[in-house]
Amino acid sequence: MILVERVTKRFGDYVALDDVSLSVPDGSLTALLGPSGSGKSTLLRIIGGLESPDVGSVTIHGEDQTSVAPQRRGIGFVFQHYAAFKHMTVRDNVAFGLAVRKRPKAEIASRVDELLEIVGLAGYQTRYPSQLSGGQRQRMALARALAVEPRVLLLDEPFGALDAKVRADLREWLRKLHDEVHVTTLLVTHDQEEAMSIADQIAVMDHSRIEQVGTPRELYDRPETPFVMRFLGPVTQLGDALVRPHDIALSVEPRAGSFEAQVARVVHLGFEVRTELVLGDGQELAVQLTRGEADELELAVGDIVHVRSTVLPRALATRAPEADALSA
């Protein structure tokens, strides 16, 4: 387990991490999710020993690692831009950590071949990184990090430099790999879809703080702050509350707690129908319906309907952006 306790880190006047605590359970795949500049990479680098915190402590498997050099933390680190050793072959790249540990040559060779098999690069042993695609380089970097049997695997935007298709493929691949290898993994990403699709646990960060920690489902269904709600999925405003567009029901007749609205636009996207409405006070509202629901209502532009939230109204007052900035 990785335990981060009350870590603060400043770069000059800029506070990169402000009293951050986090625990990453053994064997889990946890994502640090947040916009750029939220401090997530700094937190990862502090856990990896590449930066040191001004205040606070980092514990890995019960051992205090706060002032331990990265060499002795038993971590594997994967960088956004691969950090491939360009002058070494794929084999030497993966073997590096074992060679530094002066393991017997035969053991290194068999371990390297085994790892290259796992990451799907068998047969690429004698290639140089410049002869690999971005996705292949990143898988090589993963094999290199795994070679030293790290206690924890730290991934800093590992798919950030890849194009969309490769990114989606590698994401699935990483989840499968994690199910096989089970090493405690912490992954930094700014892509909520990436975090939702592969992580067991997500820590959402904003403005140098952790906003909320939970499973993808918990964060999506029970966000504790407007920021988390907005960051994890589409939102629309109904009255004073933030609601997900699929949590709004439409009816022809008024119901308890419903608002009157006029249909401004109807977009058919196959199974999903996206509807834009205008409330009585001029506020715009987006609603996601299934095709069946839309057909039943026979929605047409100009119709007057009644809208209400289908989830329990949450004590989630909408904060103005200025208030967000001040609180951070």
Partner 1 sequence: MTVDRRWQISLRVLALGYLALLLLVPVALIFYRTFEHGVGAVWDSITTPAAIHAFQLTLEVTAIAVPLNTLFGIVMAVALARGEWRGKGLVNAVIDLPFAISPVVIGLSLILVYGTRGWLGGALADAGVQVIFSVPGIVLATIFVSLPFVVREVTPVLKEVGDEQEQAAATLGAGGWTTFRRITLPSIRWGVAYGVVLSVARCIGEFGAVSVVSGKIAGQTETLTLLVEKRFGNFDLAGAYAASALLALIALATLLAMTAIPGRSPDDLRPSGTVSRRRFATRDVRRSIAAPSHRVRRPASTIRRHTTRAHRETDPPRREEGDT
8 Å CB contact between 207 and 199: no
Query: Given candidates 86, 105, 222, 255, which one binds partner 1 under the rule CB under 8 A?
Result: 86
Considering beta carbons, is residue 15 or 83 the nearer one to partner 1?
83
Region 239-268 residues binding partner 1, contact defined as CB under 8 A: none
Considering beta carbons, is residue 200 or 324 the nearer one to partner 1?
200
Strands 29-33 and 201-206: parallel
Q: Is there binding between residue 91 and partner 1 (CB under 8 A)?
A: no
Considering beta carbons, is residue 141 or 307 the nearer one to partner 1?
141
Q: Is there binding between residue 109 and partner 1 (CB under 8 A)?
A: no
8 Å CB contact between 43 and 32: yes
Q: Is there binding between residue 149 and partner 1 (CB under 8 A)?
A: yes
Q: x/- binding map, residues 262-301, to partner 1, per CB under 8 A?
A: ----------------------------------------
Region 40-59 residues binding partner 1, contact defined as CB under 8 A: 48-50
Query: Given candidates 130, 282, 302, 315, which one binds partner 1 under the rule CB under 8 A?
Result: 130
Q: What is the CA radius of gyration of the chain?
A: 24
Region 12-31 residues binding partner 1, contact defined as CB under 8 A: 23, 25-30
Report the distance separating Cα 250 and Cα 93, nearest Å.
Answer: 59
Query: Given candidates 43, 47, 115, 238, which one binds partner 1 under the rule CB under 8 A?
Result: 115
Considering beta carbons, is residue 121 or 248 the nearer one to partner 1?
121
Residue 98 phi/psi, 5-degree rounding, is -75, -35
- Locate 234 and state its tokens: 């589409």
Query: Given candidates 11, 35, 55, 61, which one binds partner 1 under the rule CB under 8 A?
Result: 61
Q: x/- binding map, residues 186-205, to partner 1, per CB under 8 A?
A: --------------xx----
Distance set, CA 320 to CA 211, 236, 247, 282 (Å): 17, 14, 22, 18
Number of Cβ within 10 Å of residue 298's Cβ equals: 8
Report the distance separating Cα 77 and Cα 51, nearest Å.
Answer: 13
| Residue 185 C-beta: closest distance to partner 1, Å | 9
Distance set, CA 87 to CA 93, 117, 146, 193, 285 (Å): 9, 22, 20, 35, 56
Residue type, 76: G
Considering beta carbons, is residue 21 or 251 the nearer one to partner 1?
21
- Locate 154 and state its tokens: 């730290």
Number of residues located near partner 1, criterion CB under 8 A:
79
* 228 closest CA partner among 248, 243, 212: 212
Segment interacting with partner 1 (CB under 8 A) among 127-135, 236-244, 248-256, 287-295: 127-135
| Residue 170 C-beta: closest distance to partner 1, Å | 6
Query: Can you tell me whether residue 303 is helix, strand or coil?
Result: coil
| Residue 258 C-beta: closest distance to partner 1, Å | 36
| Residue 310 C-beta: closest distance to partner 1, Å | 27
8 Å CB contact between 195 and 31: yes
Region 166-185 residues binding partner 1, contact defined as CB under 8 A: 166, 169-170, 172-173, 176, 180-184
| Residue 316 C-beta: closest distance to partner 1, Å | 22
Distance set, CA 278 to CA 241, 249, 323 (Å): 16, 15, 26
8 Å CB contact between 91 and 36: no
Considering beta carbons, is residue 53 or 76 the nearer one to partner 1?
76
